[in-house]
Structure 1
Amino acid sequence: MKLYRFLSEEDTSAFCHKVTDALNKGWELYGSPTQTWDHAAGVMRCGQSVVKEVEGDYSPEIKLGEQ
């Protein structure tokens, strides 16, 4: 089965670390990164989709961050 996650964070090194952690756990980049201005918080936010192929059947109870 293929799993999908959308990672997001303020535009700081924390975002890069979040994506790097996912890549090192076997996730692959999916599409282009995105960036937008968060007017309420007054910060830039980044996002990146990632996918991963795993064994088993899909269930909404799957903890995607633990895969």
Structure 2
Amino acid sequence: MKLYRFLTGPDDATFCHKVTAALNKGWSLEGSPTYAFDAATGTMRCGQAVVKKVRGKKYDPDMKLSEQ
């Protein structure tokens, strides 16, 4: 099965660490990152889609994707 996640976070090192952790767990970048101003908080936000192929499992909407 192929899994999809969209990682988001503030424009700081925590976002980079979140993406790095996903890459080190076998996830791959999918598409370009996004960058937008959050008017509610007055900060910039980042986003990046990641995908991962997992063999031997079937998709379940209750699964925690971050644990795959």
Q: Same fold (TM over 0.5)?
A: yes
In 2, Cα distance between equivalents of 1:41 and 1:5 = 24
Instruction: Give CA-to-partner distance per residue, 1:48-67, whole Å, 9 cap, x none.
Output: 00000002111101110111
Instruction: Give CA-to-partner distance per residue, 1:22-49, whole Å, 9 cap, x none.
Output: 0000000000000000000000000000
The equivalent of 1:38 in structure 2 is 38
Q: Where do residues 27-66 of structure 1 align in structure 2 (5 Å cutoff)?
A: 27-55=27-55, 56-66=57-67
Give % identity.
64
In structure 2, runs of 5+ residues without a counterpart are none
Tell me the secondary structure at the aligned position of residue 49 of structure 2: strand
- Aligned-residue CA RMSD (Å): 0.5
In structure 1, runs of 5+ residues without a counterpart are none
Tell me the secondary structure at the aligned position of residue 60 of structure 1: coil
In 1, Cα distance between equivalents of 2:8 and 2:64 = 17
